[in-house]
Copies of this chain bind each other. A is one copy, B any other.
């Protein structure tokens, strides 16, 4: 099983301190989005990296629609900057439309789960990264520009916990370097979260489940 943890993701509701800023128009949802709220975000700490539900969305679409997930060999977790963890049932179909995805995330923050009634597909809990990672079985591999330059296949194991950043640039906020077995850098330039997810998933498929039935 491969566990994919998208860590320190920049996914959150619009913070109270800018809720009344003129540039923050109240639309269908209250998910912070830098492409809409950038002028208000100058006023909050870390404003230049926050509000990136797009990164979470694209990375989730890649991971959840992968062959690895369809084969039942992938589990996906979103850890946020505010130390929440979103648990996602493997059979969840992620909404492809970005605006609707943000609406879903709003619902998740508000109700703690989606759908709000019936069997839940996603659930959000107050939990820090260390607590999450300690629960997951397998070799803990952190993907970071600061890591040692290695091929993924050298370090990938059948039980692996792959941790990638869910933020646009900069370093992890959580002290993740202390939580893992190995820290690797897979390319000489920064890569977006979904490219790292794609490389890790494709490597696992290639090493452990290929040829695909």
Q: Point out residues on A near B: beta carbons under 8 Å.
A: 33, 35, 54-55, 58, 61-62, 65-67, 70, 96-100, 151, 186-189, 191-192, 194-195, 198-199, 201-203, 206, 210-213
* Copies of this protein in the complex: 2
Give Cα A86 to B201, complex, Å.
Answer: 29
Q: Which residue of B lies closest to A96 (CB)?
A: B54
Contact A100-B35, Cβ < 8 Å, known A61-B58, A65-B191, A191-B65: yes
Contact present for B191 and A54 (CB under 8 Å): no
A66 — which chain B residues lie within 8 A by C-beta? 195, 198
Contact A194-B54, Cβ < 8 Å, known A187-B70, A199-B202, A212-B186: no
Contact present for B199 and A62 (CB under 8 Å): no
Report which of B97, B202, B210 forms a contact with A198, defined as CB distance below 8 A.
B202
Shortest CB-to-CB span from A189 to chain B, Å, is 7
Report which of B96, B201, B211 forms a contact with A58, defined as CB distance below 8 A.
B96
Contact A212-B61, Cβ < 8 Å, known A66-B198, A191-B67: no
A151 — which chain B residues lie within 8 A by C-beta? 210-212
Shortest CB-to-CB span from A141 to chain B, Å, is 17
Contact A62-B62, Cβ < 8 Å, known A96-B55, A100-B35, A202-B198: yes
Report which of B35, B99, B194, B211 forms a contact with A65, defined as CB distance below 8 A.
B194
Contact present for A213 and B188 (CB under 8 Å): yes
